[in-house]
Chains A and B, each alone.
Chain A
Amino acid sequence: MATEAAAVPAQRLRRREGAPYWLTLPAVLYLALFFAWPMVQAFRLAFEDPSGGWSLAPFHGMVNDLDFDRALRFTLLFVVVIIPIQFALALAMALLVNARLRGRGIFLFIFVIPLTVSDLTAGLVWSTIFTELGYLNTVLERVGILDRPVIWIDPQKPNLLLSEVVVAELWRSTALVVVILVAGLQGIAKEYTEAAEVFGAGFFRRLRHVTLPMLKPALQAALLLRIIFALEMFAAVIAITGRSATTLARQTYEWQQTYHDEHIAAAYASLVVVLSLAGAIVVLATVRVRREQLG
């Protein structure tokens, strides 16, 4: 009797192990049909010439595109510049929110408002700020810092244009990282920081040795997301700089929609995917999460 009772649960256990896989099958099919298959097709387009044969012509076309160098430089610089600044800012804001100060609910709410705005709208808003007779110059003149308006949107100054786009994106999307980090911070058991406090660790020591290591899973997730989104950004660049600057994602769009050359567009898109993968590998390799840190 006892052995029978023991044998039945074991069988049921084995049958139940198959159930999760069956339950995920619809989602997997959906992803395969609407994501994986089109992605494979898109990659194929990048290695095809108009007659249908295998060819590297799209990549030659992409590299010889007049805007390729500028697009690559702008995109890479953008990612490299925005990530550290955004994470430093987001961490500061997340710590503030997590400190349970009064009014933190409203604080978080206000932080998140720019996130509801699309990157095109953010670009349009900031272009009215940066335009020669826009808000920034007016304020600076009023306050006395400037005698006459500065031309912020200057095609001869690509680094200035880059910083303007960085500012617009910081304003808009830092909240995304803040929300992820706040969730991560709230997952850290208070015992660790309290124990560190008892042992005499100051704020920055606690931050460096307790909080940040425990925050690694959330940091990893936020970094992955942020790098991928940063490589895809283009609407803010169009809104603020017009023709003065371009990104890889914008070139993908232009070659597909405007110039009707799907092969070169696919080449650009493939480059963006490869860069995203490279970024993801870098993140996963450097922000290693040990099993015990998963809490």
Chain B
Amino acid sequence: MNRTALKAGAAVLAAAAISLFAAGSGGSAPATPTGGTRVVFLSSQLNTVPESEAMRKIILAGYRGDVDFVNTTADNVSARMRAEAQAGRGSVGLVGDVDVNFTFYRNALSNVSGVAAQLKSARIPKRFLALGKLGSKQQLMIPWMQATYIMTANRSALRYLPKGANVNDLTYAQLLQWAKNMRKATGRGRFGFPVGPTGLMLRFLHGFLLPSFTGGVLTKWSSPQAVQAWQYVRNLWQYSHPQSLQYNNMSEPLLSGEVLVAWDHVARLKDALQRRPNDFVTFPVPRGPKGRAYLPVVAGVAIPKTAPSRAASVALVKYLLSLNSQARTLGAVGFFPVRGGKLSQRLGPGLLKMVATVRKQQNAKKVTISGLPIGLGTQSANFTRVMVETFVRIAVRRESIRPVLAEEKKALQTIMNTVNAPCFKPDPPSKGTCQVR
């Protein structure tokens, strides 16, 4: 190679290297600002890919500020919040989580009573705001969105309702009679439960069935009322569709007509309601001897004490609670609004029907609010297994109720002891590990 060319090449390279180095250290390409109006929104909700994409592209698109939506597991959220609180400074401006999870890092959260006062016009139900106090006197969390479980029926099934039954105020006994009538008329069980491997049957059992009959969950496990509850669901199974053991999502069987009346999570019923809103009606869950128990899953937002810019965080909270954002959230990810107000007709008749039922259910008078189990951690899948196994053994395999309850009671107690989990609603709060009685 020509020596001159080599020298020239080396000189060019050196010049390029020096100029790059100078540019880098000169700070001409700034890193992401840690302060300013950019809010880091750490959330354990809307974790799936389509949901988080919807959050960024649709829901947050209406917000004029800068938001970095970061989602991760609930455990990671808790760990990060506690770490930032301990360090005394952090980058998270807003944290979103399920209501029960906030208790794990309550010390990291700031008082947002002022923000709640500013949101009075949103008419968030008092019950939900009370959840946001996390057992203290301060408002530590603002409800953000909710999900719950309702019933849906094919319009053609309404003619089989027992005489005198009001579909918006059914009792479990009337539901059973309705299922019987459908079976007689069609020759098949037409009531459906989501008992498939990823179905949410667990929630029906501990959030709806058991509390409606016994007033509790684990503390009333072996009570005579519990035996009645399991007897009831065994009877109901006779008039239910056998494929329920395969259904994970009730929209499909409702749409295909295999099932005429179903119970499921709103997100899983959404599909049927949106596709054929005129064919389906939604209505609140029935009430049992001890009242109408239902399980609202309330997600909330909280501002950490270490938030870089409180003003920016508050602005984001106000946006998330605005009618615009709540409507977008419902349309995009199927989580329901916590605020009052007339929602846009553009959501479509199906979703608006569901909102009406969710509001009816939440505003009903004698209602028992159930809660999600707290602190099960690694045992939550085991807990699901035990509950669903109890159902399958009693209702499907028709084993004797009391011996099954006694066996599963031992399994449940082992689970609670392994993680020292406290009792959860509607059981009264326990000091220490919940005792299954």
Partner-B contacts on A (CB < 8 A): 66, 127, 131-134, 148, 151, 153-156, 238, 240-244, 258-260
Q: B396: which of A155, A258, A260 is its contact (CB, 8 Å)?
A: A155
Q: How far is the CA of A243 from the CA of B194 in the complex (A)?
A: 11
Please tell me if the beta carbons of B256 and A259 are within 8 angstroms of each other in the complex.
no
CB distance from A132 to the nearest CB of B (A): 5
Decide if B381 is an interface residue (CB 8 Å cutoff): yes
CB distance from A282 to the nearest CB of B (A): 33
Which 5 A/B pairs are nearest by Cβ-Cβ distance?
Answer: A242-B246, A258-B381, A242-B196, A243-B245, A133-B256
- The CB with the most chain A CB atoms within 10 A, among B188, B196, B243, is that of B243
Q: A132: which of B241, B248, B382 is its contact (CB, 8 Å)?
A: B241
Please tell me if the beta carbons of A148 and B246 are within 8 angstroms of each other in the complex.
no
- The CB with the most chain A CB atoms within 10 A, among B246, B247, B378, B385, is that of B246
Given known A-B contacts A131-B258, A243-B195, A259 and B246 have beta carbons under 8 A apart = no
Given known A-B contacts A243-B197, A260-B378, A260-B381, A66 and B245 have beta carbons under 8 A apart = no
Residues of A within 8 A of B247 (CB): 242
Q: How far is the CA of A260 from the CA of B242 in the complex (A)?
A: 29
- A–B Cβ pairs within 8 angstroms, 24 of them: A127-B246, A131-B243, A131-B256, A131-B258, A132-B241, A132-B243, A132-B258, A133-B256, A133-B257, A151-B188, A151-B241, A153-B243, A153-B246, A155-B242, A155-B245, A156-B242, A242-B196, A243-B196, A243-B197, A243-B246, A243-B388, A243-B392, A259-B382, A259-B385
Residues of A within 8 A of B382 (CB): 258-260
- The CB with the most chain B CB atoms within 10 A, among A133, A240, A243, is that of A243
Q: Which of B242-293 contact A (CB under 8 A)?
A: 242-243, 245-248, 253, 256-258
* Closest A residue, CB atoms, query B194: A242
B-side interface mostly: helix
Q: Which of B376-417 contact A (CB under 8 A)?
A: 378-379, 381-382, 385, 388-389, 392-393, 396
Residues of A within 8 A of B388 (CB): 243
Residues of B within 8 A of A244 (CB): 245-246
Please tell me if the beta carbons of A242 and B195 are within 8 angstroms of each other in the complex.
yes
* Closest B residue, CB atoms, query A67: B389
CB distance from A68 to the nearest CB of B (A): 13
Q: How far is the CA of A7 from the CA of B301 in the complex (A)?
A: 86
* Closest B residue, CB atoms, query A132: B258
* B interface residues, tally (CB under 8 Å): 26
A-side interface mostly: loop
* Closest A residue, CB atoms, query B257: A133
Residues of A within 8 A of B242 (CB): 151, 153-156
CB distance from A160 to the nearest CB of B (A): 11
* Closest B residue, CB atoms, query A259: B382
Q: How far is the CA of A258 from the CA of B383 in the complex (A)?
A: 10
Please tell me if the beta carbons of A258 and B246 are within 8 angstroms of each other in the complex.
no
Please tell me if the beta carbons of B197 and A242 are within 8 angstroms of each other in the complex.
yes
Q: A242: which of B187, B245, B378, B381 is its contact (CB, 8 Å)?
A: B245
Q: How far is the CA of A259 from the CA of B411 in the complex (A)?
A: 13
Given contacts A132-B243, A242-B196, 12 further A-B pairs with CB under 8 A are: A66-B393, A127-B246, A131-B253, A133-B256, A154-B242, A154-B243, A241-B246, A242-B245, A242-B248, A243-B388, A259-B381, A260-B381
Please tell me if the beta carbons of B257 and A238 are within 8 angstroms of each other in the complex.
no
Q: How far is the CA of A127 from the CA of B247 in the complex (A)?
A: 11
Residues of A within 8 A of B196 (CB): 242-243
* Closest A residue, CB atoms, query B393: A66
Q: How far is the CA of A133 from the CA of B252 in the complex (A)?
A: 11
Residues of A within 8 A of B243 (CB): 131-132, 151, 153-154, 242
Residues of B within 8 A of A131 (CB): 243, 253, 256, 258
Residues of B within 8 A of A258 (CB): 381-382, 385
Question: Interface readout for B212-247 with A: 1 if CB under 8 Å, 0 if not?
Answer: 000000000000000000000000000001110111
Q: How far is the CA of A131 from the CA of B196 in the complex (A)?
A: 14
Q: How far is the CA of A240 from the CA of B392 in the complex (A)?
A: 18
CB distance from B361 to the nearest CB of A (A): 28
CB distance from B233 to the nearest CB of A (A): 15
CB distance from A152 to the nearest CB of B (A): 9
Please tell me if the beta carbons of B246 and A240 are within 8 angstroms of each other in the complex.
yes
Q: How far is the CA of A134 from the CA of B258 in the complex (A)?
A: 9
CB distance from A247 to the nearest CB of B (A): 13
Q: How far is the CA of A258 from the CA of B380 in the complex (A)?
A: 9
CB distance from A4 to the nearest CB of B (A): 49
Given known A-B contacts A151-B243, A153-B242, A153-B243, A238 and B197 have beta carbons under 8 A apart = yes
Residues of B within 8 A of A154 (CB): 242-243
Q: How far is the CA of A169 from the CA of B253 in the complex (A)?
A: 24
* Closest A residue, CB atoms, query B186: A148
Question: Interface readout for B365-380 with A: 1 if CB under 8 Å, 0 if not?
Answer: 0000000000000110
* Closest B residue, CB atoms, query A245: B245
* Closest B residue, CB atoms, query A148: B187
Q: How far is the CA of A153 from the CA of B195 in the complex (A)?
A: 14
* Closest A residue, CB atoms, query B381: A258
Q: How far is the CA of A33 from the CA of B429 in the complex (A)?
A: 51
* Closest B residue, CB atoms, query A154: B242
Residues of A within 8 A of B246 (CB): 127, 153, 240-244
Q: How far is the CA of A131 from the CA of B388 in the complex (A)?
A: 22
